[in-house]
Amino acid sequence: MLKVLLVTFLVTSLAQIVPSCGGSDTSRPGGALVIGTVESKRLLQPDRSFTITVLSTEYEVPYAFWQQVNVGDLVRWDGTVWTIVRRGSG
């Protein structure tokens, strides 16, 4: 019984470390849920990419959302839509 628990623990720990097959794209996080405070927002030239930084990661966002969001706002990415959960103070 102890061996079964140990193997289960090791497999679970390994699954947390190894990235999934889906890969990760920081400009479009895919199905990954992102919830965090906007640390910065900027316009990248010359391709006019509208980006925000959440949890020390830059994400490209639609222009309409980029216009509405401010630094300090709590935002959420559900895999398809960015939303403002709570406005920051200030």
Q: With beta carbons less than 8 A apart as the criterion, state whether 59 and 77 touch.
A: yes
Would you state the pLDDT for residue 65?
95
Query: Mean pLDDT score of the chain, rounded to an integer?
Result: 80
Per-residue pLDDT band at 34 (split at 50, 70, 90): very high
Kindly report, residue by residue over 4-31, the tens digit of the pLDDT: 665 666 666 656 665 555 444 444 555 6
| Whole-structure pTM value | 0.63
How is residue 4 written in tokens? 């079964």
**Nearest-5° Cα angle at 68, 63 to 74:** 115
Evaluate whether 81 touches 33 at the Cβ level (below 8 Å): no
pLDDT top residue among 28 and 37: 37
Residue 89, pLDDT score: 78
Q: Nearest 5°: phi and psi at 59?
A: -130, 135
Specify the pairing of strand 74-77 against strand 57-60.
Answer: unpaired
